[in-house]
Structure 1
């Protein structure tokens, strides 16, 4: 529309200066022009129309961009369309109206898509925050894993901040629930650790007492009872509970050190004792070799005398390891039994007239007869009766020994 004909096809100015825009339904007065020629007046109102076209072009361009504010564009198009029927312009108003209607329809479609996308994003964001709230409420209902749960709450707060698209009212409502769950967790954790501190204080006192008892017993040389007592303290230590890791480790080192003092000392003593017992065993084994080498059958009496000497040495040597004591004793008893059997056999082989025991018993009978004779000579009835009884008893034993009646 660069010449007058173009402008006159869309508007005119009458003699009194009234400016009209032409439409298919007739003319509409859009203003008044008194400042110059008719051409200049039409050009002035045509420029206003051109400005509207430029504004519509800009909105159309923004509407087709990826970052368009569709809601704002739709609003601007509605305002332009509503104002077009009264706009003080000269131009293809109806063509522009048609274009505005088309753009408005396109904007409404895009706005619907935009709102649907926004609603979907909002729903996802709400769901994400609801999931965080549910997790927070679940963590708040537990009474364990304080460190891990505390770390998780910190992570969830950062996740919460990264979630966008939730309306303010819903966001505030969900945040109140999340915050309440976090406060509940913090309160429960504080109560737990307060109670734990109180319990650990009692445990600490108990373990200090056990350490003191262990240190007191550490220098004892009453090995058996003290070892049992320390084992009892160990059982009490396990039953007492645990301190914080660092404190528990320090207390345990002190308690264990006291026990080590005692058990190391006992080990040294027992090692020395074991060495002595092993030396005693070696000595007794040497005596056993000598005893087992005795020629018992050839000369039981000589073997008996030698065995007695070995027995004296055996008792002088002292104790041996408990596990070998019975075995060594059995070997010694075997030699003793062989010696006894050999002596019994040798005893039976001695002639009766040479048997020392029979000779002794005959001597005793003769002495009893002499006592009876003296009692009769004295005429003492009491002594006679006792002497007769003694003589009868000794004769009876003599007869049994001789195998006679």
Structure 2
């Protein structure tokens, strides 16, 4: 596991709860080596990056009692553990003499350390957990081994344990690890370099494959730039810094891309909100007389839910645009509510007025329901129905109840009238038989061949028709219509005969005939003169005119004869 200040591991105490041994006391542990225990990351440690897993150090079996005084033999290691520190001494060990330091540089005791893979946690021994066998050594990862070897080439260790790293600017001291071998001292700082390199590589991978926010990119990049400025590590730090600078350029492009995506998302969000507002405005602008209020209200509620969902889960838009759109949306909803209240207030007034008018109509209808004055009362009910239709609709419940009362009053009156008419019709049944016999006699007169006889016979039938009396109401129109048809046929025959014997027409016919005869005589004289003169043109004209007038005269004479009978 890597060591990081972001996830500190509270494992800095030994089995009996003693605090970590100071550096001055740990230097006496060379005479009796013990297993290095991981310590919690210190707040002021220069190495805060995550440490990738390395080949774990072989663990020696611990005493079954978990006593801190029982030393464990040190196992051989191929690569020194990066987080290894001089082991804690037993309580009975003599106080060591502090080693003088040339300058205040970081020491292993101040270096944050993480538990080694496969190593037991410090509290495990106190709990009686079994320790790993001494011969269980994990193999070294080849790539990591090569990276470690390459990083070692950039550093050196003095006799006093001071570690140096070579950079383009020169050699720089990165720390001191006294009391251990040069390889072990170098391994600590190489491990720090590898940790930094792993963090840079991880950020590069995340920058290319994951959706990082601008804030995450800037924070991570600033952290890497800070950690690679002058790290207490040994390796190719110049190349690492160059890699970080390249990532800065890549991050700038990624920031621009994120900004463009964010701008596009905001534009889409504004367009979506605008569609919601425009839909609400269309509803609010609908004519109240044509508005379907219930569906329109449900649609507005759905639009409001869509607005809330866009606020809750959609991209954030700029405050000015959101406030402007919300004002329009709110104004549309307010206008709709105002028109709806106004419409239903007027509707309530109309319903109340219609209800009052129809209550008066129903009261009058119920008052005359028992009348036996059939004709006038039936007319009154027709007038009441016209007033009912003109009154308009009341509330559905009230309107239905009033209509039921009005219809009941009508039914009462008309049922009584129908019953009275049924009694009358039963009494008039014999009269109908008599009149149907008279109709048979009357219809035998058509067509009229003898006008005088037909007139006398029809007059007798009409007298007996009146004497027969009334017929049932359902047959009245039928029998009356048949008798009117016979009367019309006789009257038409009489009019035709009068037209033929009209003295005025006869006088006009005789005058026309005399004029034609005189014209014919003149034309005959002209024809004779033309023939005598041998004028063929005058002969032809006179002949044509003479024939036409003779034809007219013949028609007039025939009409006069027809009129005389």
TM-score bracket for this pair, using the shorter chain length? 0.5 to 0.7
> What is the rounded CA distance, in whole Å, between the counterparts of 1:70 and 1:33 in structure 2?
40
Q: CA deviation at 1:165?
A: 0.7
Is 1:324 aligned to residue 468 of structure 2? no
2:305 to 148, 158, 166: 158
8 A Cα contact 2:439 2:482, kept in partner: no
8 A Cα contact 2:276 2:303, kept in partner: yes
8 A Cα contact 1:63 1:70, kept in partner: no
Q: 1:29 to 1:324 in 2, by over 3 A?
A: same
Q: 1:102 to 1:274 in 2, by over 3 A?
A: farther
Residue deviations 1:32-81, cap 9 Å, x none?
A: 44464443332222222122122223323333434544651353124312
1:212 to 352, 360, 363: 363
Query: CA RMSD of the aligned region, Å?
Result: 3.7
Residue in 1 aligned with 2:338?
Answer: 187
> What is the rounded CA distance, in whole Å, between the counterparts of 1:330 and 1:32 in structure 2?
141
How does the TM-score come out when normalised to structure 1? Answer: 0.67
> What is the rounded CA distance, in whole Å, between the counterparts of 2:293 and 2:439 in structure 1?
72
Matches within 5 A, 1:122-133: 122-133=266-277
1:111 to 255, 268, 273: 255
1:178 to 307, 329, 334: 329
Residue in 2 aligned with 1:53?
Answer: 197
Q: 1:40 to 1:191 in 2, by over 3 A?
A: same
1:141 to 254, 273, 285: 285
> What is the rounded CA distance, in whole Å, between the counterparts of 1:107 and 1:290 in structure 2?
119
Q: CA deviation at 1:173?
A: 4.5
How does the TM-score come out when normalised to structure 2? Answer: 0.49
> What is the rounded CA distance, in whole Å, between the counterparts of 1:104 and 1:329 in structure 2?
115
Unmatched tracts of structure 1, length 5 or more: 294-303, 336-405
Q: 1:288 to 1:208 in 2, by over 3 A?
A: closer
Residue deviations 1:243-290, cap 9 Å, x none?
A: 233433333232223222223333333444455555413223446779
8 A Cα contact 1:13 1:33, kept in partner: no
> What is the rounded CA distance, in whole Å, between the counterparts of 2:422 and 2:308 in structure 1?
71
Residue in 1 aligned with 2:403?
Answer: 252
Residue deviations 1:89-136, cap 9 Å, x none?
A: 221112222322333333333333233222212211111111111221
Residue in 2 aligned with 1:223?
Answer: 374
Q: CA deviation at 1:204?
A: 1.2
Matches within 5 A, 1:204-353: 204-274=355-425, 276-277=427-428, 279-286=430-437, 316-320=467-471, 321-322=476-477, 324-325=479-480, 328=483
Q: Report SS of the residue matched to 2:209.
A: coil
Aligned residue-pair number: 322
> What is the rounded CA distance, in whole Å, between the counterparts of 1:148 and 1:168 in structure 2?
32
Q: CA deviation at 1:242?
A: 1.1
> What is the rounded CA distance, in whole Å, between the counterparts of 2:259 and 2:324 in structure 1?
23
> What is the rounded CA distance, in whole Å, between the counterparts of 1:275 and 1:266 in structure 2?
14
8 A Cα contact 1:78 1:104, kept in partner: no
Unmatched tracts of structure 2, length 5 or more: 1-143, 445-455, 491-565
Q: Report SS of the residue matched to 2:174.
A: strand
2:206 to 41, 55, 62: 62
> What is the rounded CA distance, in whole Å, between the counterparts of 2:307 and 2:387 in structure 1?
49
> What is the rounded CA distance, in whole Å, between the counterparts of 1:30 and 1:14 in structure 2?
12
Q: Which has the higher helix share?
A: 1
> What is the rounded CA distance, in whole Å, between the counterparts of 2:166 and 2:409 in structure 1?
114
Higher normalized contact order (CA 8 Å, seq sep 6+, divided by chain length): 2
Between 57-66 and 283-292, report the one with greater CA deviation. 283-292
2:184 to 22, 30, 40: 40
Residue deviations 1:222-259, cap 9 Å, x none?
A: 22222221121111111111123343333323222322
